[in-house]
Each structure stands twice: as structure tokens, then as C-alpha cells.
Amino acid sequence: MVQNEAVSPGAGAAVLEALFHQSTTGLLILDTELRILRINLTRPVLLEAPVEQIVGRHITDVYDLSAPGEVEALLHGVLESGAPVRERLVGVRPKGAPGPEYLFSVSASRLEDSQGRVWGVLMEMLDVTEYKRVGARMRVLGAVREHVGQTLDVVATCEELVQAVVPDLADIAVVEVVDAVVRGEEPPLSPLGLEVPLRRAAFGHSGGEEQIQAHPVGDVRAVPFPTPYAQTLTDLKPRLVALGPETPWLAADPPRAEAIRASGARFLITAPLTLRGTVLGLLSLYRTDQVDVYDKDDVALALAVTAHTALCIDNARRYTREHTIALTVQRHLLLPHPATRTTVETAHMHVPSEVGGGGGFDTFALSGARTALVVGEAAGQGIHAATTMGQIRTASHSLAALDLEPDELLARLNDTAISLAEERAALPPGDPMPLTGSCVYAVYDPLAETCTIALAGHPPPVIAHPDGSTEIPDLPAGPPLGTAEGPSFAATTVSVADGSVLGFYTASLLHTSPSPDALQRVLAHPERPLQDLCDDMLYRLRNDTHHGDVILLLARTHPFPADQVATWHLDPHPKAVATARTHTRRQLVLWRVDEETAYTTEMIVSELVTNAVSYGTPPVQLQLMKDRTLTCEVHDGNSLAPRLRHAKTIDEGGRGLFIVAQLAQSWGVRYTFDGKTVWAEQTLPPLTPARPQPRP
């Protein structure tokens, strides 16, 4: 410090006195040996010793500095060069005293008189301890808000929390969550019962070596009582606890006591993960440094951290619950063992979407030994998409019972979807998106060896022929389900030879396949077992489940066995009834059908043929089919539908279909381009031993 000649020495002394008594910045004057000549620091804790015990001593004898060697070198450099040093951060605490380290922004200038003699160093020390602590806390809170809650997974959210608070807020952090919350169930109300189990969801530490844990991550157990952990979960108030060998509650939790001693933890904060009066879990923060003491501001920060994390955990819990419900609903839509007839072998592959898609498939028997093959997908995700698919599946089953052609069925199904969409549109704002979906509906006829297919905004199937060639038939796309305007639905009939494989799938299969023709290459070997083909396709998929449910339904077709079907053309004459009964009786003997079923079948045939002869038009045809059921079909050229009547006591007729309905397991009418077919099915009992055939 160079004195100005125009200023008297007395004025300089006055200025110096004013600085030491009125400056808000701490001042420290050192001589050339770095001994303290005068001191005025703003931290009273650094001035607890009398001034006469401080003055004259080397600065490193009075204070512990964060880097004493660097500080001494810095001050000697100022003395030698005269170049000042500005705003260097230095940690300071009284020599050998316990407690926290205080952070100062230090500036140093050389002191010299008018003759250029060096007197020492003036250190200006600005206390920035609180400023830096507040900044560090804000960084922790910012990291939590930025990184915690990036996933909709409870355990992953807890792991994100640990990564955000270690090491800035804690040397060791443990997150425990109520086990039911991890599964997506509703969190319990406070106070938490002592028997409620918590799952250790995440553990993190700042040390390089592996830390001893009281319990491994994933362990589920109740919190011991009495401990700060149990108290926090009871009254939802945080606890700040000093840890030591004599801490009394450690005896109640020996595993944690051992882990605390092994880690050297000195201070603990327990903060509840709570939301709207419910308990989600517990955050435990530990510091191992003896002098880095937690204070009330750290507790407030821990509460802010847990408040944000609790909201993220609850969001993840709600998603888990909805996703679980959606998968449960979807499992009921996906048949574990699809209906397999003599003429159709099936296998399927299902890769659920992470967002909970609304994909589904179905196979079910139709009259005339036919099989329906359905694959569909509802727009949206989660429980809403799954329930939408359930509504579509229920409607398709009901419509299929009417023996509608595939294009007619999709048209009726579209009307149903539009009606459901109108109901959904009337719901309050914020409810799920409008009901739309896609569907492919196919009917395989083993007698004609054909498959009739109709699409509703769905990709066409792949057909693999027995010779290994594959094709994608050119089919009209049709509008998606739920579309009020657009082209009409159309059905296309294709021939399928014995051993052909039909591949129906959702659009997500194309998005996750390595190439557009991946399915065709897999199906180029149709002789392989169907499940092997499904697995082969699965192994080729990319690990991407964000597009929706990936479903593949494979069906290998076979013709109906010739010895299991019998057809007779009948004359349109009343005598045709007796003829039909005779044919039926002989055929059932050949098929080894028991007498009771044979008698019932003769009655059904008699009534159906009587109706066809009396009210139908030629040609009249009787057909019997024996598969898992026994089916009787009578065809005539009249497209007018018979109806079930309940005849009065005095009526002479009108009981034919009523009798059929009582005797058969199911019955119906199927329309064709040249008339109609009335059919009835019966359940077959186990086979009986062969009996002698009657003589002609």
C-alpha cells in the first residue's frame, strides 16, 4: 500500500481504523513472515480466542486452511511480486476445532510504505459460506427436478433420486418404498403401521469402495421400532440425528447399526416420501464427515426433494397400476390355447407394448366346419385401448353368430364402433381418445379349401404355399373401424392348398422387423412347426416396444377329411324325409355314433328336411359332418329365413325349429348366393365300441 504524500500519516491511520471497525469484509494484516499483526473477521467463531493469543502467531498456527501450502505460496508470491490476488476460495476453521469449515473469498495485496519498503500483506476475506451452501442446495434441487421422474417406473425413479443427491447432499443415500406401491397398489394412509413392509429400492454412496449395506437392494421388511425411521413414517416429520457409538436406538436395528459403524456415518436425516396424507416411502441421508454437519436448511432441502420425488413415484405407481390392469384385461383377450379344429392348426406370438397397447387376436369355430381368424388393434394405449379391444372382440363374436360374410361383419362392427365412439365423445373433456381400430377378419372353409378375407384399415396377411412360395394378396384396405365415411368393406376369397400357412399380424410387426419382407422369409418354410416359425420371427424383431402390441397369428390349413362328411341330394318330395332319415341312420352307424345321439340326429334331420321340402325351393341337399361336433346342414334354394315359432296347443304345425332348438346345442341359418343353409350342431359323447351293421 503506497501512501499518498498529500495525505497525512494521521489521516491514513484514521482510514485504517475505519476499515477495521466498519467494513463488512473481514480484514487480516500479516507481516512478511505471515504472522498476524491485526485481525477483524466477520465470523465470530473465528475470533473466539483473545486477540493477544492470536497476534504474532503464524496464520497456519491459528487456523486450519483447506490448502495451507497453496495459501502460503500465494501470499509469498504477493509479497515478492507485488501483484495482488483476487477472490480465491479458501476454507477456514479454528486450529484443531471441531465443526464446519467456513468458506471465504480471499483477496491479497502487498503493504509497503512511501520508500517502497514491504511491511506485509493485507487479506480481504469475504464470507461466502452461506452463499455457496445455498448455491449447492439449489444445484441439488435442480438436479432432482431435472433428472428424477424421467421414467414411469417406481424403482428407476428411486435410483434417479439417489444419483441426484449423492454426493452433494449426502455421502450415503437410501430410498425405501412401501412394497405395495412398487406393485402399483394404493399407498397406505398415515400413520404407517409397524407391520407394513418396505422394499429397499435404491442405495448410493460417494466412496470408491463398496459400502456395507444393512440390507441388499430389493429386500422387503418392516422398519424396526423404535427408530427415527419408524417415527418419521408415523408422524411424517423429518428427523435430524447425530450418530455415535452411544446412540440408544441403534440397538433396535442391529443390521443398520453395523452398516452405520462400518461406513463411519456421523449424521442422519430421515425424510418421508408422502403425498396427500399417504405414505409412499422413506429417504435416509447420511454424512460421514465429522465436520460437515447437517442443519435445518439441509432438512428443508430434504423435504423439498422428497416432495418432488413422491409425486414422481405416485405417477409411476399409477402407470404401473393402469399397465397391470391393461395387461390383465389383455390376457383375457389373448387366448392361451386358440381354438384348433381338425382343419386348422394355429400358433401365435405376442410381444406386449411398454405403453400398454390394445392388440388382440381370436380364433373360433363357425358353422359348416369353418374357422374364423381375427387380428385387431385399438388406437391408444393402456386400459382404454385394452377395454376398447375387448368391446370389439365381444361384438365380433356376437356378429359371427349370425353367419355373416367377413365384409358384412366388418360393416356391422364398424357401426358398433361408431356408436361407441359417439358415447365416448359425450364424456367430459380429458377422457380417452375417440374409439378407432383396425381389424382383419378371415373365414377358412375346409370343404371348399378357400379363405375369405376382409380388412378394416389393417395390413393384409401373408400366405405361404406348400411349395415354399409366399405372397401378400392384393386386398381392398377398407376404412379403419370407427370411421363414419369412407369406402365400403370388401371381401376377397383366395384358394389355399393343403398345408398352406396364413400369417396375420398387427402393423407394429412391420415397424419392429429388420426388413419389410422378414415375415415372408420366415414363412418360406411352411413345413416347420408353427410355434418354431413364431419363435423365429420373434428372434428377428428389434428391441422396440413403443409402437404397440406385436401380434402374429399363424394358421396352417387342411381340407376336411373326406370320410367325415357325407352329402345327399334329395328330391323335393315329402318322401325325401324318410330317405334322409335312412341315409342319416346308416352314416351314423359307420361313424360309430351312439344310439341316443343317432336318434336325436334323425329327429333334427327330419324337421330340417320337412321345412326345406315344405317351404323351400329346389335343389335340396342334406350334409352331415363329424368333427368335434356332429353337424347337420340342409340347403335349399329359397333365401327366405325360417323363424322359430312357439305353436299353440291346437296348432298342427310350427314346431319344427322349436324342436331343433331344444335338441341341438346350437343352430342357425347361413345365406349363400344360391339360397340358404339351415344347420344344427350336437356335442358328441366319447366313442362307443363298434356295433354290427343292420342288414339291408
Tell me phi and psi for residue 255, to 5 degrees: -60, -40
**Helix 656-663 × helix 595-615 angle, to 10°:** 150
Higher pLDDT, 112 or 52: 112
Average pLDDT value for residue range 174-201: 88
pLDDT score of 450 more than 90 = yes
**In sequence order, which residues have a C-beta less than 8 Å from that of residue 415 and are 6 or more positions away?**
none
Rounded percentage of the chain residues whose pLDDT exceeds 90: 34
pLDDT at 47: 64
pLDDT at 690: 46
pLDDT score of 2 more than 50 = no
pLDDT score of 3 more than 50 = no
> Could you tell me if 440 and 453 are in contact, meaning their C-beta atoms sit under 8 angstroms apart?
yes
Average pLDDT value for residue range 614-618: 89
User: Model pTM greater than 0.85?
Assistant: no
pLDDT score of 235 more than 80 = yes
Give residue 382's region: left, alpha or beta (phi > 0; psi -120 to 50). left
pLDDT at 5: 46
Tens digit of pLDDT for each residue in 333-374? Answer: 555 555 556 799 999 998 877 655 577 888 988 988 999 999
Residue from 260, 282, 287, 279 nearest 271 by CA: 282
pLDDT score of 305 more than 50 = yes
Q: Which domains does the chain have, with CATH numbers?
A: 9-127 (3.30.450.20), 133-323 (3.30.450.40), 336-557 (3.60.40.10), 562-683 (3.30.565.10)
Tell me phi and psi for residue 213, to 5 degrees: -110, 145
Tens digit of pLDDT for each residue in 11-61? Answer: 555 656 656 665 667 778 888 888 888 777 766 666 666 777 778 888 887
Tens digit of pLDDT for each residue in 374-418? Answer: 998 887 655 666 677 777 888 888 888 888 999 999 999 998 888
- What number of CA atoms fall less than 13 Å from residue 444's CA on the CB side? 31
Higher pLDDT, 329 or 344: 344
Higher pLDDT, 210 or 611: 611
Tens digit of pLDDT for each residue in 589-601? Answer: 999 999 999 999 9
Average pLDDT value for residue range 180-208: 86
- Listing DSSP states for 625-683 in one string gives EESSEEEEEEEES--PPP------TT-SS--HHHHHHHHSSEEEEEEETTEEEEEEEEE
pLDDT score of 634 more than 80 = yes
Mean pLDDT in the chain? 83
pLDDT score of 176 more than 90 = yes
